[in-house]
Amino acid sequence: MHPDIIENILQQSSAEIVTQRIQDNMTARDYAVQENCDNAVNIIDKYVSLWCNNEEYSKQKQILLLHGYTAIPKILQEEVNEEEEEYSESVKGYITQIEDFHEAVEMCESEKVKDLMYCDKCKQLQNCLADSRIQAKGQPALHKAVLRKDMKTCCEIAEALVYQCKQKLDSVRDQFFRTALHYAYGMADGKEFVDILMDYGSSDFAVDKDGRSPLAFKDRQELPQMRDLLHYQLLQELETPEPDPWSVRLQMPVVGYLIDCAHSQHKHLPVHMAES
């Protein structure tokens, strides 16, 4: 991509375009480094530095730190002076609390999750950690709670996202660009989670990186490949390919359809005739 295009995209975008990670937890910058696109790396670093060192862009800086953008500590270390050492230390404490918060979510310790969800270590940063990410990782806390079937934590995080962070749940995406509702629909026993997420505004129409909506997961929730996919996402075994429930063709319930169909030529058709 031409450097001018990258520059224009960053000028018009928020820091979320920099912090978003793909399947192998790579950011746009990581991918640029891998492909030896030095111009792209330099442009991204320029904007990250601008966002971190200019009060006008404090919101972008909050997003970078909240979403675990790994170049942040390095940039802060290069840019801050001695008088800002205290701020640098508070940022480290902020990052540590994000890690502790996610560990509590992963361990299904709902009371600890509630205690750690708000951080007062750095007044200039987002104090609610509901939309946070661990450094170099891309899975949101809400997705972790759903995959672990932790209803109490799921409710706490969803409520905080909507009412404290003023975010739509459909905007909270993982490395596969999925919402938590995708995985809730993928669980055969996930109806309660589906209901909760939809109560907080999740949509059936949000599509992932492959163009699949949550309803596409619902259609295949009984397949062993879907159970494998959910387990894969739970463990975050991203070094191997994700199980693919869509590699299996679903059987159509033709016989039942013909028997129950309202068309005169099909209705109440004997089973042996329907099969023929």
> Residue range 146-158: average pLDDT?
98
Residue in the structure block whose two tokens are 């995406």: 173
Nearest to 102 by CA among 59, 51, 72, 147: 147
Residue 256 falls inside a structural domain: yes
Among 57, 79, 101, residue at a domain's last position: 79
What is the reported pLDDT for 86?
A: 77
Among 46, 63, 79, residue at a domain's last position: 79
For residue 160, give the 3-state DSSP assignment.
helix
- What is the residue range of 49's domain? 1-79
Residue 258 falls inside a structural domain: yes
Residues 6+ apart with CB under 8 A from 258: 266, 269, 274
- Answer whether residue 162 shows pLDDT above 80: yes
Residue in the structure block whose two tokens are 């994700």: 242
Q: Which helix (H) or strand (E) holds 215?
A: helix 214-218
Give this prediction's pTM: 0.86
> Residue range 166-183: average pLDDT?
98
φ and ψ at residue 236, rounded to 5 degrees:
55, 50
Q: What percent of the chain lies above the pLDDT cut of 90? A: 73
Determine the Cα–Cα distance for residues 148 and 52; give it in Å rounded to an integer.
Answer: 35
Confidence bin at 80 (pLDDT 50/70/90): low
Q: What percent of the chain lies above the pLDDT cut of 70? A: 86
Residue 191 falls inside a structural domain: no
What is the reported pLDDT for 143?
A: 99
- Answer whether residue 271 shows pLDDT above 80: no
Residue 59 falls inside a structural domain: yes
What is the reported pLDDT for 55?
A: 85
Determine the Cα–Cα distance for residues 61 and 72; give it in Å rounded to an integer.
Answer: 9
Residue 274 falls inside a structural domain: yes
What is the reported pLDDT for 260?
A: 57
Residue 221 falls inside a structural domain: no
Confidence bin at 275 (pLDDT 50/70/90): very low
Among 55, 79, 103, residue at a domain's last position: 79
Residue 238 falls inside a structural domain: no
Residue 26 falls inside a structural domain: yes
Number of domains in the chain: 2
Query: pLDDT tens digit string along 85-111?
Result: 777 788 889 999 999 999 999 999 999
Query: pLDDT tens digit string along 6-61?
Result: 999 999 989 999 999 998 999 999 999 999 999 999 999 999 989 988 889 999 99
